Amino acid sequence: MVINRRRAIATGFGAACASLVRLHGQVKTGSELEQARSLFDFEAAASKKISPPVWARVQGASADELTLRWNHEAYERIRLRPRVLIDVSKVDTRVKLLGLDLPFPILLSPTGFQSAVYPDGDLASVQGAGAAKALLVISSSASKSVDEVAKAASGSVWFQLYVQRDRGFTKALVQRAEAAGCRGLAVTVDSPTFGARNHEQSVQGAMPPRPLPNLQGADYLDPTLSWKDIDWLRSFAKVPVLLKGILNPDDADIAVKAGVSGIMVSNHGARNLDTVPATIDALPHIAERVNGRVPLIVDGGIRRGTDVIKALALGATAVGIGRPYLYGLGIGGAEGVTRVVDILRREFEATMMLTGRPTLASIDRSVLWPKEW
Protein backbone atom coordinates (compact mmCIF):
# COMPACT_ATOMS: atom_id res chain seq x y z
CA MET A 1 0.00 0.00 0.00
CA VAL A 2 1.32 3.44 -0.93
CA ILE A 3 0.69 6.18 1.62
CA ASN A 4 1.65 9.84 1.48
CA ARG A 5 2.29 12.34 4.27
CA ARG A 6 -1.13 14.02 3.99
CA ARG A 7 -2.91 10.69 4.37
CA ALA A 8 -0.57 9.72 7.19
CA ILE A 9 -1.65 12.73 9.20
CA ALA A 10 -5.31 12.21 8.33
CA THR A 11 -5.26 8.58 9.46
CA GLY A 12 -3.71 9.23 12.79
CA PHE A 13 0.06 8.69 12.73
CA GLY A 14 0.47 11.81 14.84
CA ALA A 15 -1.39 10.08 17.68
CA ALA A 16 0.55 6.83 17.43
CA CYS A 17 -2.12 5.28 15.19
CA ALA A 18 -4.73 5.91 17.87
CA SER A 19 -6.80 8.78 16.49
CA LEU A 20 -9.31 6.18 15.36
CA VAL A 21 -9.80 7.50 11.84
CA ARG A 22 -10.70 4.21 10.17
CA LEU A 23 -10.68 2.71 6.72
CA HIS A 24 -13.50 0.27 7.41
CA GLY A 25 -16.39 2.01 9.11
CA GLN A 26 -16.91 3.69 12.45
CA VAL A 27 -16.45 2.22 15.91
CA LYS A 28 -18.94 3.31 18.54
CA THR A 29 -17.60 6.02 20.85
CA GLY A 30 -16.55 4.61 24.20
CA SER A 31 -16.47 1.00 23.01
CA GLU A 32 -13.72 -1.43 23.94
CA LEU A 33 -12.51 -1.31 20.35
CA GLU A 34 -12.16 2.46 20.50
CA GLN A 35 -10.33 2.36 23.80
CA ALA A 36 -7.80 -0.21 22.59
CA ARG A 37 -5.04 1.83 20.96
CA SER A 38 -2.33 -0.81 20.71
CA LEU A 39 -2.12 -4.58 20.50
CA PHE A 40 -1.19 -4.60 24.18
CA ASP A 41 -4.44 -2.75 24.94
CA PHE A 42 -6.34 -5.42 23.03
CA GLU A 43 -4.63 -8.10 25.12
CA ALA A 44 -5.60 -6.42 28.38
CA ALA A 45 -9.22 -5.96 27.29
CA ALA A 46 -9.53 -9.49 25.93
CA SER A 47 -8.24 -10.98 29.19
CA LYS A 48 -11.29 -9.53 30.94
CA LYS A 49 -13.80 -10.63 28.32
CA ILE A 50 -12.73 -14.18 27.41
CA SER A 51 -13.52 -16.93 29.93
CA PRO A 52 -10.56 -18.11 32.09
CA PRO A 53 -10.20 -21.60 30.58
CA VAL A 54 -10.37 -20.26 27.02
CA TRP A 55 -7.99 -17.42 27.91
CA ALA A 56 -5.53 -19.99 29.31
CA ARG A 57 -5.65 -21.80 25.99
CA VAL A 58 -5.12 -18.60 24.00
CA GLN A 59 -2.28 -17.34 26.18
CA GLY A 60 -0.76 -20.60 27.34
CA ALA A 61 2.51 -21.97 26.06
CA SER A 62 4.78 -24.91 26.84
CA ALA A 63 6.32 -25.83 30.20
CA ASP A 64 7.79 -22.75 31.97
CA GLU A 65 6.83 -20.46 29.08
CA LEU A 66 10.35 -19.09 28.73
CA THR A 67 10.23 -19.07 24.94
CA LEU A 68 6.86 -17.33 25.09
CA ARG A 69 8.45 -14.48 27.02
CA TRP A 70 11.54 -14.40 24.82
CA ASN A 71 9.49 -14.15 21.63
CA HIS A 72 8.69 -10.50 22.32
CA GLU A 73 11.57 -9.62 24.63
CA ALA A 74 13.99 -10.35 21.80
CA TYR A 75 12.36 -7.60 19.73
CA GLU A 76 12.72 -5.19 22.64
CA ARG A 77 16.49 -5.74 22.66
CA ILE A 78 16.87 -4.73 19.01
CA ARG A 79 17.47 -1.00 18.53
CA LEU A 80 16.52 1.04 15.47
CA ARG A 81 18.93 3.43 13.70
CA PRO A 82 16.88 6.05 11.84
CA ARG A 83 17.99 8.27 8.98
CA VAL A 84 16.75 11.85 8.54
CA LEU A 85 16.15 14.27 5.67
CA ILE A 86 14.91 11.51 3.39
CA ASP A 87 11.73 12.08 1.41
CA VAL A 88 9.11 9.88 3.05
CA SER A 89 6.11 11.81 1.75
CA LYS A 90 5.14 8.50 0.17
CA VAL A 91 5.84 5.07 1.64
CA ASP A 92 5.17 1.90 -0.31
CA THR A 93 4.39 -1.23 1.73
CA ARG A 94 3.34 -3.48 -1.15
CA VAL A 95 4.92 -6.94 -1.35
CA LYS A 96 4.83 -9.80 -3.84
CA LEU A 97 4.52 -13.17 -2.13
CA LEU A 98 4.23 -16.46 -4.01
CA GLY A 99 2.12 -15.09 -6.82
CA LEU A 100 0.10 -12.72 -4.66
CA ASP A 101 0.28 -8.93 -4.63
CA LEU A 102 -0.29 -7.92 -1.01
CA PRO A 103 -0.73 -4.31 0.19
CA PHE A 104 1.52 -4.86 3.23
CA PRO A 105 3.70 -7.66 4.65
CA ILE A 106 1.51 -8.67 7.61
CA LEU A 107 -0.31 -12.03 7.55
CA LEU A 108 -2.70 -13.69 9.98
CA SER A 109 -1.14 -16.94 11.15
CA PRO A 110 -3.29 -20.04 11.72
CA THR A 111 -4.94 -20.35 15.12
CA GLY A 112 -7.35 -23.05 16.25
CA PHE A 113 -10.43 -23.18 18.46
CA GLN A 114 -11.64 -19.71 17.46
CA SER A 115 -15.28 -20.62 18.12
CA ALA A 116 -14.45 -20.61 21.84
CA VAL A 117 -13.19 -17.03 21.55
CA TYR A 118 -16.14 -15.71 19.54
CA PRO A 119 -19.24 -17.35 17.99
CA ASP A 120 -18.43 -18.52 14.45
CA GLY A 121 -14.93 -17.25 15.17
CA ASP A 122 -13.21 -18.55 12.06
CA LEU A 123 -15.78 -16.90 9.80
CA ALA A 124 -15.48 -13.62 11.68
CA SER A 125 -11.67 -13.76 11.48
CA VAL A 126 -11.57 -14.30 7.74
CA GLN A 127 -14.13 -11.53 7.23
CA GLY A 128 -12.09 -9.19 9.41
CA ALA A 129 -8.93 -10.11 7.54
CA GLY A 130 -10.61 -9.38 4.24
CA ALA A 131 -11.78 -5.97 5.42
CA ALA A 132 -8.21 -5.19 6.47
CA LYS A 133 -6.88 -6.57 3.14
CA ALA A 134 -4.69 -9.07 4.98
CA LEU A 135 -3.98 -12.66 3.97
CA LEU A 136 -5.27 -15.20 6.51
CA VAL A 137 -3.97 -18.75 6.92
CA ILE A 138 -6.90 -21.04 7.73
CA SER A 139 -6.07 -23.54 10.47
CA SER A 140 -6.51 -27.30 10.14
CA SER A 141 -7.90 -27.14 13.68
CA ALA A 142 -10.46 -24.50 12.74
CA SER A 143 -13.93 -24.94 14.17
CA LYS A 144 -15.35 -24.67 10.65
CA SER A 145 -14.47 -26.64 7.54
CA VAL A 146 -11.88 -25.14 5.23
CA ASP A 147 -14.62 -24.86 2.59
CA GLU A 148 -16.84 -22.75 4.85
CA VAL A 149 -14.05 -20.44 5.92
CA ALA A 150 -12.69 -19.94 2.41
CA LYS A 151 -16.20 -19.23 1.10
CA ALA A 152 -16.55 -16.41 3.65
CA ALA A 153 -13.26 -14.81 2.57
CA SER A 154 -13.12 -11.62 0.53
CA GLY A 155 -9.33 -11.68 0.32
CA SER A 156 -6.57 -14.21 -0.22
CA VAL A 157 -6.30 -17.25 2.05
CA TRP A 158 -3.85 -20.09 2.56
CA PHE A 159 -4.44 -23.36 4.39
CA GLN A 160 -2.34 -24.69 7.26
CA LEU A 161 -2.03 -28.46 7.05
CA TYR A 162 -1.34 -31.16 9.60
CA VAL A 163 -0.31 -34.26 7.67
CA GLN A 164 -2.47 -36.89 9.37
CA ARG A 165 -1.91 -40.61 9.68
CA ASP A 166 -4.48 -41.32 7.00
CA ARG A 167 -2.67 -40.01 3.93
CA GLY A 168 -5.76 -40.51 1.79
CA PHE A 169 -7.74 -38.21 4.09
CA THR A 170 -4.85 -35.71 4.01
CA LYS A 171 -4.72 -35.69 0.22
CA ALA A 172 -8.48 -35.20 -0.04
CA LEU A 173 -8.26 -32.31 2.47
CA VAL A 174 -5.54 -30.60 0.42
CA GLN A 175 -7.64 -30.95 -2.71
CA ARG A 176 -10.69 -29.54 -0.90
CA ALA A 177 -8.64 -26.57 0.26
CA GLU A 178 -7.38 -25.93 -3.27
CA ALA A 179 -10.88 -26.24 -4.72
CA ALA A 180 -12.13 -23.78 -2.11
CA GLY A 181 -9.64 -21.17 -3.31
CA CYS A 182 -6.71 -21.48 -0.91
CA ARG A 183 -3.65 -20.08 -2.67
CA GLY A 184 -0.94 -21.70 -0.54
CA LEU A 185 -0.35 -24.69 1.73
CA ALA A 186 1.51 -24.11 5.02
CA VAL A 187 2.54 -27.52 6.32
CA THR A 188 3.22 -27.65 10.06
CA VAL A 189 6.42 -29.65 10.57
CA ASP A 190 7.32 -28.95 14.21
CA SER A 191 4.65 -31.04 15.95
CA PRO A 192 5.34 -34.79 16.17
CA THR A 193 3.57 -34.56 19.55
CA PHE A 194 1.96 -31.96 21.80
CA GLY A 195 4.01 -29.78 24.14
CA ALA A 196 3.66 -29.67 27.93
CA ARG A 197 0.75 -27.23 28.18
CA ASN A 198 0.95 -26.82 31.96
CA HIS A 199 -0.60 -23.35 32.04
CA GLU A 200 -3.60 -24.47 30.06
CA GLN A 201 -4.01 -27.63 32.11
CA SER A 202 -3.85 -25.79 35.44
CA VAL A 203 -6.90 -23.60 34.87
CA GLN A 204 -10.15 -25.07 36.06
CA GLY A 205 -13.35 -24.57 34.14
CA ALA A 206 -15.47 -26.10 31.46
CA MET A 207 -14.26 -25.75 27.90
CA PRO A 208 -16.87 -25.46 25.18
CA PRO A 209 -17.16 -28.32 22.67
CA ARG A 210 -14.42 -28.31 20.08
CA PRO A 211 -15.54 -29.30 16.59
CA LEU A 212 -12.65 -30.34 14.33
CA PRO A 213 -14.13 -30.80 10.85
CA ASN A 214 -10.73 -30.77 9.12
CA LEU A 215 -9.13 -33.38 11.38
CA GLN A 216 -9.61 -37.05 12.13
CA GLY A 217 -10.16 -36.81 15.87
CA ALA A 218 -8.24 -35.07 18.63
CA ASP A 219 -5.12 -37.23 18.17
CA TYR A 220 -4.21 -35.81 14.78
CA LEU A 221 -0.42 -35.50 14.99
CA ASP A 222 1.76 -38.02 13.17
CA PRO A 223 5.24 -38.66 14.62
CA THR A 224 6.26 -40.58 11.49
CA LEU A 225 6.17 -37.42 9.35
CA SER A 226 9.42 -37.06 7.37
CA TRP A 227 10.94 -35.40 4.32
CA LYS A 228 9.52 -38.10 2.06
CA ASP A 229 6.03 -36.91 3.01
CA ILE A 230 6.94 -33.40 1.86
CA ASP A 231 7.98 -34.90 -1.49
CA TRP A 232 4.65 -36.73 -1.56
CA LEU A 233 2.67 -33.53 -0.89
CA ARG A 234 4.55 -31.62 -3.55
CA SER A 235 3.81 -34.38 -6.06
CA PHE A 236 0.12 -33.46 -6.19
CA ALA A 237 -0.29 -30.02 -4.61
CA LYS A 238 -1.27 -27.40 -7.16
CA VAL A 239 -0.43 -24.44 -4.94
CA PRO A 240 2.86 -23.37 -3.34
CA VAL A 241 3.93 -25.54 -0.40
CA LEU A 242 5.54 -23.80 2.59
CA LEU A 243 6.96 -25.43 5.71
CA LYS A 244 5.82 -23.91 9.00
CA GLY A 245 7.94 -24.46 12.11
CA ILE A 246 11.53 -24.21 10.87
CA LEU A 247 14.08 -22.95 13.42
CA ASN A 248 17.26 -24.73 12.34
CA PRO A 249 19.24 -23.35 9.37
CA ASP A 250 20.15 -26.90 8.34
CA ASP A 251 16.45 -27.77 8.01
CA ALA A 252 15.88 -24.57 6.07
CA ASP A 253 18.58 -25.56 3.60
CA ILE A 254 17.13 -29.05 3.18
CA ALA A 255 13.67 -27.55 2.67
CA VAL A 256 14.86 -25.30 -0.15
CA LYS A 257 16.69 -28.19 -1.81
CA ALA A 258 13.53 -30.29 -1.47
CA GLY A 259 11.71 -27.71 -3.59
CA VAL A 260 9.41 -26.03 -1.08
CA SER A 261 8.17 -22.60 -2.07
CA GLY A 262 8.63 -20.84 1.25
CA ILE A 263 9.56 -21.18 4.92
CA MET A 264 7.68 -19.98 7.98
CA VAL A 265 10.15 -19.38 10.80
CA SER A 266 8.02 -20.28 13.81
CA ASN A 267 8.22 -21.92 17.22
CA HIS A 268 4.48 -22.64 17.25
CA GLY A 269 3.77 -19.62 19.42
CA ALA A 270 6.04 -21.22 22.06
CA ARG A 271 3.38 -23.90 22.57
CA ASN A 272 5.51 -26.95 21.75
CA LEU A 273 9.12 -27.03 22.96
CA ASP A 274 10.17 -24.59 25.64
CA THR A 275 13.64 -22.94 25.68
CA VAL A 276 13.99 -22.87 21.90
CA PRO A 277 15.06 -19.40 20.74
CA ALA A 278 12.78 -16.53 19.94
CA THR A 279 11.92 -16.64 16.27
CA ILE A 280 13.51 -13.24 15.60
CA ASP A 281 16.78 -14.62 17.00
CA ALA A 282 16.60 -17.65 14.70
CA LEU A 283 15.56 -15.62 11.64
CA PRO A 284 18.91 -14.06 10.62
CA HIS A 285 20.68 -17.43 10.75
CA ILE A 286 18.02 -18.99 8.53
CA ALA A 287 18.03 -16.00 6.20
CA GLU A 288 21.79 -16.31 5.79
CA ARG A 289 21.53 -19.99 4.85
CA VAL A 290 18.53 -19.55 2.54
CA ASN A 291 20.16 -16.54 0.87
CA GLY A 292 17.02 -15.32 -0.86
CA ARG A 293 16.16 -18.58 -2.58
CA VAL A 294 12.63 -18.65 -1.11
CA PRO A 295 10.58 -16.13 0.86
CA LEU A 296 10.72 -16.25 4.66
CA ILE A 297 7.79 -15.48 6.94
CA VAL A 298 8.37 -15.09 10.68
CA ASP A 299 5.78 -15.17 13.45
CA GLY A 300 5.88 -15.12 17.24
CA GLY A 301 5.97 -12.11 19.55
CA ILE A 302 5.14 -9.36 17.06
CA ARG A 303 3.18 -6.62 18.81
CA ARG A 304 4.37 -3.33 17.28
CA GLY A 305 5.05 -1.81 13.88
CA THR A 306 8.67 -1.45 15.01
CA ASP A 307 8.77 -5.26 15.35
CA VAL A 308 7.68 -5.63 11.73
CA ILE A 309 10.50 -3.45 10.37
CA LYS A 310 13.03 -5.31 12.55
CA ALA A 311 11.88 -8.65 11.14
CA LEU A 312 12.12 -7.40 7.54
CA ALA A 313 15.58 -5.97 8.25
CA LEU A 314 16.74 -9.39 9.46
CA GLY A 315 15.57 -11.24 6.36
CA ALA A 316 11.82 -11.79 6.52
CA THR A 317 9.65 -11.20 3.47
CA ALA A 318 6.57 -10.88 5.67
CA VAL A 319 5.47 -11.45 9.25
CA GLY A 320 2.59 -13.29 10.85
CA ILE A 321 0.50 -12.54 13.93
CA GLY A 322 -1.58 -15.06 15.85
CA ARG A 323 -2.67 -14.22 19.40
CA PRO A 324 -3.17 -10.49 18.69
CA TYR A 325 -5.97 -10.99 16.21
CA LEU A 326 -7.62 -13.44 18.62
CA TYR A 327 -7.66 -10.57 21.13
CA GLY A 328 -9.48 -8.43 18.59
CA LEU A 329 -11.80 -11.32 17.72
CA GLY A 330 -12.73 -11.83 21.37
CA ILE A 331 -13.51 -8.15 21.90
CA GLY A 332 -15.29 -7.28 18.68
CA GLY A 333 -15.53 -10.16 16.21
CA ALA A 334 -14.65 -9.32 12.62
CA GLU A 335 -14.36 -5.61 13.36
CA GLY A 336 -11.90 -6.34 16.16
CA VAL A 337 -9.73 -8.40 13.83
CA THR A 338 -9.74 -5.61 11.26
CA ARG A 339 -8.81 -3.03 13.84
CA VAL A 340 -5.87 -5.06 15.17
CA VAL A 341 -4.45 -5.36 11.67
CA ASP A 342 -5.08 -1.68 10.91
CA ILE A 343 -3.28 -0.56 14.06
CA LEU A 344 -0.24 -2.73 13.36
CA ARG A 345 -0.15 -1.71 9.71
CA ARG A 346 -0.34 2.00 10.53
CA GLU A 347 2.38 1.64 13.16
CA PHE A 348 4.55 -0.06 10.54
CA GLU A 349 3.94 2.72 8.03
CA ALA A 350 4.79 5.31 10.68
CA THR A 351 7.97 3.41 11.55
CA MET A 352 9.03 3.42 7.90
CA MET A 353 8.60 7.20 7.80
CA LEU A 354 10.37 7.78 11.10
CA THR A 355 13.35 5.63 10.12
CA GLY A 356 13.65 7.12 6.63
CA ARG A 357 12.68 3.98 4.72
CA PRO A 358 10.14 4.80 1.99
CA THR A 359 10.02 1.31 0.44
CA LEU A 360 10.33 -2.28 1.60
CA ALA A 361 13.45 -2.62 -0.55
CA SER A 362 15.08 0.15 1.49
CA ILE A 363 14.65 -1.84 4.72
CA ASP A 364 17.86 -3.73 5.46
CA ARG A 365 20.22 -4.25 8.39
CA SER A 366 21.38 -0.67 8.21
CA VAL A 367 18.10 0.31 9.91
CA LEU A 368 19.25 -1.60 13.01
CA TRP A 369 21.68 -0.24 15.58
CA PRO A 370 24.84 -2.38 15.50
CA LYS A 371 25.22 -4.49 18.64
CA GLU A 372 28.83 -3.51 19.07
CA TRP A 373 28.00 0.22 19.35
DSSP output for 51-65 = -HHHHHHHH--STT-
What's the pLDDT at 120? 92
Nearest to 345 by CA among 104, 156, 126, 167: 104
Using DSSP, state whether 97 is helix, strand or coil.
strand
Domains of the chain: residue spans and CATH = 37-81+89-355 (3.20.20.70)
| All residues at 6 or more sequence positions from 372 whose CB lies less than 8 Å from its CB, including other chains | none
Type and span of the H or E element at 285 = helix 279-290
Helices (H) and strands (E) in the chain, counts: 14, 12
What's the predicted TM-score (pTM) here? 0.91
Using DSSP, state whether 134 is helix, strand or coil.
coil
What's the pLDDT at 3? 58
Nearest to 134 by CA among 322, 358, 350, 362: 322
332, HSE (Cβ side, Cα atoms, 13 Å): 22
Query: Contact at 8 Å (CB) between 314 and 105?
Result: no
Query: Contact at 8 Å (CB) between 283 and 298?
Result: yes
Using DSSP, state whether 21 is helix, strand or coil.
coil
What's the pLDDT at 31? 82
Using the CB atoms, write b or e for 136-173: b if 16+ within 10 Å. Answer: bbbbbbbbbbbbbbbebbebbbbbbbbbbeeeeebbeb
Active site residues: 268
What's the pLDDT at 176? 97
Query: Contact at 8 Å (CB) between 264 and 320?
Result: yes
pLDDT in tens, the chain (373 residues): 665 544 444 344 433 343 333 333 344 434 888 889 999 999 999 999 999 999 999 999 999 999 999 999 999 999 999 999 999 999 999 999 999 999 999 999 999 989 999 999 999 999 999 999 999 999 999 999 999 999 999 999 999 999 999 999 999 999 999 999 999 999 999 999 998 888 888 887 777 888 899 999 778 899 999 999 999 999 999 999 999 999 999 999 999 999 999 999 999 999 999 999 999 999 999 999 999 999 999 999 999 999 999 999 999 999 999 999 999 999 999 999 999 999 999 999 999 999 999 999 999 999 999 986 6
What's the pLDDT at 360? 98
Burial class (CB within 10 angstroms; exposed 0-12, middle 13-18, buried 19+) of 345? buried
Query: Contact at 8 Å (CB) between 368 and 313?
Result: yes
Query: Contact at 8 Å (CB) between 26 and 32?
Result: no
Query: Contact at 8 Å (CB) between 297 and 242?
Result: yes
CA separation, residue 273 to residues 57, 226, 300 (Å): 16, 19, 14
Neighbours of 35 (CB within 10 A): 16
Sign for the pseudo-dihedral over CA of 338, 339, 340, 345: positive
Query: Contact at 8 Å (CB) between 134 and 78?
Result: no
